[in-house]
């Protein structure tokens, strides 16, 4: 399960770095920025780690766990970019957490 959590973290990091890269001026400089290259690196790490997770877990267990990215991103958006989190987002996040916990619990039975 540790590989799933690393993959989730790498994907979330990639998305945060990509958003930061999007603030650069349009053109080739945007795609050569360290933010963008960092985003691509995090995606590469995510892909490698994800393969390790799939070797150890059923796809029906591993893939729903990737929804934890939807839990991390609002929090990271708030911390890094001062984005607002609505009540509806919080409620949705709770549903995602409950669902992933239940899938994990059921897979251990």
Buried b or exposed e, range 38-68, using 16+ CB within 10 angstroms = bbeebbebbeebbeebeeebeeebbebbbeb
pLDDT tens digits, one per residue of 38-57: 999 999 999 999 999 999 99
pTM: 0.85
What is d(CA 16, CA 20) in angstroms, rounded to the nearest whole number?
6
pLDDT tens digits, one per residue of 11-31: 999 999 999 988 877 777 777
pLDDT band at 32 (very low <50, low <70, confident <90, very high): confident
């Amino acid at each position: 399960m540790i590989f799933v959590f690393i993959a989730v973290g790498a994907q979330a990091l990639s998305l945060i770095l990509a958003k930061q890269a999007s603030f650069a001026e349009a053109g080739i400089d945007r795609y050569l920025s360290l933010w963008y290259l960092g985003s691509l690196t995090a995606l590469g790490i995510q892909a490698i780690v994800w393969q390790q997770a799939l070797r150890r877990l059923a796809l029906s267990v591993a893939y729903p766990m990737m929804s934890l990215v939807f839990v991390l991103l609002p929090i990271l958006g708030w911390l890094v970019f001062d984005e607002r989190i609505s009540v509806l987002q919080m409620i949705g996040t709770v549903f995602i957490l409950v669902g992933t916990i239940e899938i994990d619990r059921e897979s251990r039975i």
